[in-house]
């Protein structure tokens, strides 16, 4: 019985004809497009929820919070945090300006409900003790005084870090809690300011 010659793949065989590209029926594209659109809508809904209820990007306008926050700096404001924890001294808060609620201001909380606040030649005193403010460099301080006042219930005494350039509670008094709608938590632009707001 004669031997049957064995052939190795690719040898002694004619090359296979290229297979034509298969066309994808339009019916198969529709489910893929529907899945993509569904994922996009879910992502947009989650983003909208975060922006509306939790984090809001804002742009700082003005120099009253320098050097902590500079003019045109972009930050995220947490609008939900004060549902979980109280407003505290040192927090940088965003609030509606009491004399014109259509405007928003950003300042640092110096005194909370019941605190006795006094400013003597630029030195802030809270409940009789001098406040150590390392966020106010000498170049940004001033010598302005303010008579002792007790922060009313549900109110906060706020100051800008750039004391000589700030319109704050020294001018419009303590801010009611109902005007405060967020806490500045994170700077994201410019890149050299990326990080937590202090």
> Token pair of 142, please?
């001033």
**SS (HEC) of 127-190:** CCEECCCCCCCHHHCCCCCEEEEECCCCEEEEECCCHHHCCCHHHHCCEEHHHEEEEEEEEEEC
| 107 is a catalytic site residue | yes
| 145 is a catalytic site residue | no
Cis peptide before 19 (omega within 30 of 0): no
CB proximity list for 153: less than 8 A, separation 6 or greater: 113, 114
> Token pair of 25, please?
């029926």
User: Considering 43, 47, 59, 64, which one is annotated as catalytic?
Assistant: 64
User: Considering 79, 107, 169, 183, which one is annotated as catalytic?
Assistant: 107
Active site residues: 64, 107
């Amino acid at each position: 019985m004669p031997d049957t010659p064995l052939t190795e793949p690719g040898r002694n065989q004619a090359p296979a004809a290229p297979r034509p590209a298969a066309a994808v029926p339009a019916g198969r594209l529709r489910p893929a497009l529907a899945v993509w659109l569904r994922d996009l809508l879910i992502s947009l809904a989650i983003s909208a929820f975060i922006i509306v209820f939790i984090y809001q990007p804002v742009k700082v306008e003005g120099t009253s919070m320098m050097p902590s926050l500079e003019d045109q700096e972009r930050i995220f404001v947490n609008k939900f945090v004060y549902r979980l924890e109280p407003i505290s001294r040192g927090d940088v808060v965003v609030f509606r300006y009491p004399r014109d609620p259509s405007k928003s201001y950003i300042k640092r909380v110096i005194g909370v409900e019941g605190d006795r606040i006094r400013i003597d030649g630029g030195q802030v005193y809270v409940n009789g003790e001098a406040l150590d403010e390392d966020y106010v460099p000498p170049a940004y301080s001033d010598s302005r005084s303010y008579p002792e006042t007790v922060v009313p219930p549900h109110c906060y005494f706020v100051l800008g870090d750039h004391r000589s350039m700030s319109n704050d509670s020294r001018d419009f008094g303590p801010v009611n809690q109902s005007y405060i709608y967020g806490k500045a938590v994170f700077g994201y632009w410019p890149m050299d300011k990326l990080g937590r707001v202090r």
